């Protein structure tokens, strides 16, 4: 059975995120967990790495970490990606709270 938070896990030196991106959106936004990944809309085209760059910038902003702390480890050319957040004080719960604030605040699950 798939758990809601399978998209976020602790790894040595940080936190690993599984994301599914939807490029060419009107704005960047986190949609929520879906099928073992965090679904994210990006206001960027999937050409020449633009969507990957936009994803790193967007996540770094939401997590309040430098872009250099985020490493795209898998899925450079696909919609499913794995990103490691390294060298930060963030925990799995901290990442969940920053990326899904309604969930942690008792809002919509």
> Rounded distance, CA 100 to CA 108, Å?
10
Asked if 31 and 41 touch (Cβ cutoff 8 Å), the reply is yes
Q: What is the pLDDT of residue 102?
A: 60
pLDDT in tens, 53-62: 999 999 999 9
Structure confidence at residue 4 as a pLDDT band (50, 70, 90):
very low
pLDDT in tens, 9-20: 999 889 999 999
> Rounded distance, CA 37 to CA 16, Å?
11
- pTM (predicted TM-score): 0.86
């Amino acid at each position: 059975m798939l758990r809601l938070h399978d998209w976020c896990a602790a790894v040595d030196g940080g936190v690993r995120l599984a994301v599914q991106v939807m490029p060419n959106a009107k704005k960047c936004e986190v949609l929520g967990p879906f099928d073992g990944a965090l679904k994210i809309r990006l206001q960027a085209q999937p050409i020449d790495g633009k969507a990957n760059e936009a994803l790193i910038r967007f996540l770094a902003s939401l997590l309040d970490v430098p872009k250099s702390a985020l490493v795209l480890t898998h899925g450079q050319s696909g919609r499913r990606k794995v990103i490691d957040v390294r060298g930060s004080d963030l925990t799995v719960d901290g990442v969940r709270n920053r990326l899904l604030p309604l969930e942690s605040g008792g809002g919509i699950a």
